[in-house]
Amino acid sequence: MNIVSAIILTAALLMIIAGMFCLVRTYNLIRIIIAIEIAMKAITLLLVFAGAVNGNMALSQTFVITMIVIEVIVAVVAAGIAISLYHKNGNVDIRELTNLKG
C-alpha cells in the first residue's frame, strides 16, 4: 500500500468535490470561475500522478501545459464576462446573464 498514492487520489477527489459544491451552491460568477480553477487543479494533479505511475512524465507534462493554457483562457474570458456583467447590471449574479443577449 503506497500511502502517498492514496493521499494524492484523496486530495484530488476532495478538490473536485469542493469545486463542484461551489459550482452548485453559488451564483457569483467570479466565485464560479474560482470553483472551476479548483477542480482543474485536481485534474492537473491526477495527470502528473498518472505520468509518475506510468513512468512517462514527459508526456503528462505536455498535457499539463496544454491544460494550463486552456485554464488561463477560460479565466480571462470569464473575468471579462464578469466585468461586462457588472457594468451592465451592477453585480456579477449569473441569474442576470440573460440580460447580455443581443
Partner 1 sequence: MQQFFIVLCLVLMVVAGGAAVMLRSMLKSTISLGVASALLAAVLFLLGAFWAAIFELSVCSGLITVVFVSAVSLTNSDRKDEEHVKEHRARVAALPAILIFAGASLLFILFSHDFNIVISSTPASFAAFKEALWSLRQSDILGQIIAILAGTFAVIVLFKERDNI
Instruction: Using alpha carbons only, give the angle 37, 91, 89 rounded to the nearest 5 degrees.
Output: 125
| Binding status of residue 97 toward partner 1 by CB under 8 A | no
Three-class SS of residue 52? Answer: helix
| Binding status of residue 99 toward partner 1 by CB under 8 A | no
28, 30, 34, 36: CA torsion to nearest 10: 80
Binding mask 39-68 for partner 1 (x = CB under 8 A): --x--xx--xx-xxx-x-xxxxxxxxxx-x
Q: How far is the CB of 99 from partner 1 (least distance, A)?
A: 15
In angstroms, the Cα distances linking 38 to 69, 92, 94 are 15, 20, 19
Positions in the binding site for partner 1 (CB under 8 A):
1-11, 13-15, 17-19, 21-22, 25-26, 28, 30-31, 33-35, 37-38, 41, 44-45, 48-49, 51-53, 55, 57-66, 68-73, 75-77, 79-84, 86, 91-92
